[in-house]
Structure 1
Amino acid sequence: MARTKAGSAPDSTRVALGLRQNLAQFVLLVAVNALVGGTLGQERTVLPLLAGQVFHLDLYTSALTYILAFGLSKAAMNYFAGTLSDRYGRKPVLVTGWLVAVPVPLMLILGPSWGWIVAANVFLGISQGLTWSTAVIMKMDLTGPKQRGLAMGLNEAAGYLGVAVTALATGYIASAYGLRPGPFLLGAAYIALGLGLSVLTIRETHHHAKTEASQHVSAHKSADAGLTTGRVFTLTSFKDRSLSAASQAGLVNNLNDGLAWGLFPVLFVSSGLNLNQVGILAAVYPAVWGAGQLFTGAASDRWGRKWFVVTGMIVQAAGLAIVAAAHSFGPWLTAAVLLGIGTAMVYPALLAAIGDVAHPTWRARSVGIYRLWRDGGFAIGALLSGLLADLYGIPAAIATVAALTAASGLVVAVRMRGNDHITG
């Protein structure tokens, strides 16, 4: 068995690509990503309320600093996760991500000032960037090109169902036992379990990517194997039509998710909803998002990525517009379902589109750069929505982001090629 910088790699002739051939490891990685999502979900219902009720932050911009810190740190780590996993292997990056998360629940429970909460979200962002990006890359490695949409759908479904279940659970825990410490003890349990599974059961997958590279037929002329990281960044961000269209759509998608995370609970509570109702609304959006991806990822393998993305962005925009206009639980529940459906259409299709176009030898870097832009949307969304909410109110902030989301879908319609999902 040959040894490489990326870990132990068996003879490539004995490495099989495909979901069925690697089912046990794939299922374990799905479970790990559900725990990654749950670690994020511990904050979705509780932290916006903690900002106002415990730390007495009045301005929305100040209250949303934790999302800004999370978005910037996660975006940066997404970029480095791809490069590090190519250099040192996927598993060491995954384990490191879990280790970084260890202090987060304690900081959220014991933090005496808002600065501690912001610092905890820096650690959480680093952890999420390393763990979630690596889980994506490892599933792409295992499945190969023909089931990439299905793989991304299962990956993102697990992660966001983890977010949803935990957002719902923490809403109930907070209503019964208070905002601290109960909700964050659940996050601590997730971190312990995720770290244990990653250390003891997950195996290295870099050699699967090398096997695919040896069999790869380029999706287009730019997809040669010898690109520098700078060239990969330029292609993914600006020059390649499909890669850059996916990157901007990912950024806008998470911009509106950052808005939903930071301002929706505040809007709902200020309109008279109780914590249980807020928890339900905070959970329905990622639950529909997560469950929907079980179908949309595989469907994009059959029908292509482009129009799933375009339609999904328009549906998200409609959901946001309803949130901005409504004043009660029923319409907001409908809007949460629409947001979930739209995001389910977009999320796995965008990731799979990156995997379709990028060559296997630089795919991990391209995924990392895409996720840099996508999760940078959290930071931009926190700043933009906070400033607009301070100046014009929460409904105006939500309406503005709805318009941006619709415009992003139109960019994809014009710019993304329609046949990049047809791979070898």
Structure 2
Amino acid sequence: MSAAFVIALGYGLVAPVLPAFARSFDVSITAATMVVSAFALMRLAFAPATAPLLRRMGERPVYLCGLLIVALSTLACAFANSYWQLLVLRALGGVGSVMFTVSAMSLLIRISPPAIRGRVSGVYSSSFVLGNIVGPLVGGGLVGLGLRVPFLVYAAALVVATAVVWVALRHSALIAPAAQEATGPSLRQAWADGPYRAVLVTAVVFGWVFAMRVSLLPLFFTDVLHQSPSMAGFALAAYAAGDVLVMIPAGRASDTYGRRPFLILGMVILAAATAGLAMTDQVGVALLVTAVAGFGTGLVAPVIQATVADVLYGGRGGSALASYQMAQDSGVIAGPVIAGVVADRLGFGPAFSLTAALAAIVAVVWMCTGETRGQAPVSQAPVT
């Protein structure tokens, strides 16, 4: 949990300045958003390798190596002298990012007691969001020192996170040899389960929404509302504030009332708020609507993680878990590119409206999908 906060804080430092840093090399909006997509593309490409790595090495070594890879990549980004250097260096960080992301989720799935999965996911998700609140505020303040400074601070934060994980888990009984651990369900086993397929659809759209938040939203405030990068940082903080207000209560309540109600309601709120953002040109209204959109994602984020644990609980790693991460990264890749092209040619309004429509589709998918709380994991189901 502590490492998640530090990682998110550091990421929040660079999120509001990354598109502006890319634009400083005199490139288009689409090219600027490609920096976000390139990071996710490397995550997607390397995700299939994480399952065998986790089985062979265990979560802790994979987590530590992933953090250090992202730290080195981020440090190098601070010294990029061209757009293409920035693009390549940021993309390389995606390899380390997927390593620590999947290893952390694998550990949470294995050790979270079934009765409080939602609560655990809520606390874990909120630790990320708290970092996302503090990070953009600090990052916005660092802009005055130059667009490269946040990258230096982020690299240092990742080194701190590495130290936290190394110290906290060095004597943990949970870090067992991989050979003694059961393997998680295969993709074939999981695909036969309707909720798992709904989880994959949700992951794609959620990745799209996340990428839109860190790529198009800052540009909307700087290019359309004519605000400074610092205000873009405040917008990201407002989004994160909406997130954190409901994450822990939503996760806890989903342990009692089930996952579906919160997934449906969260996506409906997200769709409505994103559509509203497409129709405003006032800074105050835009900040308010952004916070409401964060409220919607705050209902979904911990509950979808608990849903993944419901479906995949029972082993370390596994291709089904890696595929879930790949689905989310696919959305992160496609979102900035497609929405960036729409924004370039038609404006930010249609780009936000497209995102709202996708969120509404996910709400409909969950209306037609069964509840996962209390179901047996798919690893116990026969393969047909």
TM-score, normalising length: structure 2:
0.90
Q: Does the alignment pair 1:281 with 2:235?
A: yes
What is the letter of the counterpart of residue 310 of structure 1? I
Residues 172 and 375 (structure 1), Cα distance of their counterparts in 2 relative to 1, 3 Å cut: same
Q: CA deviation at 1:207?
A: 4.7
- Which among 121, 132, 137 is matched to residue 90 of structure 2? 121
What is the letter of the counterpart of residue 80 of structure 1? A
Measured in 2, the distance between the counterparts of 1:43 and 1:226 equals 34
In structure 2, the partner of 1:55 is 25
Q: CA deviation at 1:422?
A: 5.2
What is the letter of the counterpart of residue 127 of structure 2? A
- Which among 62, 65, 68 is matched to residue 93 of structure 1? 62
What is the letter of the counterpart of residue 185 of structure 1? L
Aligned-partner SS, 1:273: coil
Residues 290 and 70 (structure 1), Cα distance of their counterparts in 2 relative to 1, 3 Å cut: farther
Aligned-partner SS, 1:325: coil
- Which among 257, 261, 281 is matched to residue 303 of structure 1? 257
Measured in 1, the distance between the counterparts of 2:374 and 2:345 equals 43
| Residues 374-423 of structure 1: CA deviation (Å, up to 9, x unaligned) | 12210010121012112211111111111111112111211x21243456
In structure 2, the partner of 1:131 is 100
Measured in 1, the distance between the counterparts of 2:366 and 2:178 equals 28
Aligned-partner SS, 1:136: helix
In structure 2, the partner of 1:201 is 168
Aligned-partner SS, 1:45: coil
- Which among 341, 348, 351 is matched to residue 397 of structure 1? 351
In structure 2, the partner of 1:112 is 81
CA RMSD of aligned residues (A): 2.4
Residues 306 and 206 (structure 1), Cα distance of their counterparts in 2 relative to 1, 3 Å cut: farther
Measured in 1, the distance between the counterparts of 2:255 and 2:218 equals 35
What is the letter of the counterpart of residue 308 of structure 2? I
Q: Does the alignment pair 1:145 with 2:98?
A: no
- Which among 339, 352, 366 is matched to residue 306 of structure 2? 352
Q: Does the alignment pair 1:31 with 2:19?
A: no
- Which among 207, 211, 230 is matched to residue 254 of structure 1? 207
Residues 207 and 105 (structure 1), Cα distance of their counterparts in 2 relative to 1, 3 Å cut: closer
Decide whether the 8 Å contact of 1:104 with 1:121 is kept in 2: yes
Q: CA deviation at 1:41?
A: 1.8
- Which among 181, 186, 191 is matched to residue 158 of structure 2? 191
Measured in 2, the distance between the counterparts of 1:40 and 1:129 equals 14
What is the letter of the counterpart of residue 32 of structure 1? A
Measured in 2, the distance between the counterparts of 1:365 and 1:73 equals 17
Decide whether the 8 Å contact of 2:13 with 2:151 is kept in 1: yes
Measured in 1, the distance between the counterparts of 2:42 and 2:293 equals 25
Residues 419 and 284 (structure 1), Cα distance of their counterparts in 2 relative to 1, 3 Å cut: same
Measured in 1, the distance between the counterparts of 2:226 and 2:205 equals 29
Measured in 2, the distance between the counterparts of 1:305 and 1:212 equals 28
How many pairs were matched up? 374
Measured in 2, the distance between the counterparts of 1:276 and 1:340 equals 19
Decide whether the 8 Å contact of 2:55 with 2:317 is kept in 1: no
Residues 226 and 405 (structure 1), Cα distance of their counterparts in 2 relative to 1, 3 Å cut: closer
Measured in 2, the distance between the counterparts of 1:64 and 1:257 equals 12
Aligned-partner SS, 1:103: helix
| Residue identity (%) | 24
**143-152 or 80-89: bigger deviation:** 80-89
In structure 2, the partner of 1:233 is 187
- Which among 48, 65, 70 is matched to residue 34 of structure 2? 65
**77-86 or 292-301: bigger deviation:** 77-86
Q: CA deviation at 1:245?
A: 0.1
Decide whether the 8 Å contact of 1:141 with 1:209 is kept in 2: no
Decide whether the 8 Å contact of 2:184 with 2:313 is kept in 1: no
- Which among 269, 289, 305 is matched to residue 315 of structure 1? 269
Q: CA deviation at 1:81?
A: 2.9
In structure 2, the partner of 1:244 is 197
Residues 382 and 234 (structure 1), Cα distance of their counterparts in 2 relative to 1, 3 Å cut: farther
Q: Does the alignment pair 1:156 with 2:125?
A: yes
| Residues 128-172 of structure 1: CA deviation (Å, up to 9, x unaligned) | 211122222222322221211111111111112212311221111
What is the letter of the counterpart of residue 18 of structure 2? L
In structure 1, the partner of 2:12 is 41
Q: CA deviation at 1:114?
A: 1.0
Measured in 2, the distance between the counterparts of 1:114 and 1:160 equals 29
In structure 1, the partner of 2:380 is none
Q: Does the alignment pair 1:324 with 2:278?
A: yes
What is the letter of the counterpart of residue 150 of structure 2? P
What is the letter of the counterpart of residue 66 of structure 1? V
Decide whether the 8 Å contact of 1:141 with 1:205 is kept in 2: no
Decide whether the 8 Å contact of 1:235 with 1:244 is kept in 2: no
Q: CA deviation at 1:46?
A: 0.2
What is the letter of the counterpart of residue 198 of structure 1? V
Measured in 2, the distance between the counterparts of 1:300 and 1:423 equals 17
| Residues 289-317 of structure 1: CA deviation (Å, up to 9, x unaligned) | 24432221111111111121111111111
Decide whether the 8 Å contact of 1:161 with 1:291 is kept in 2: no
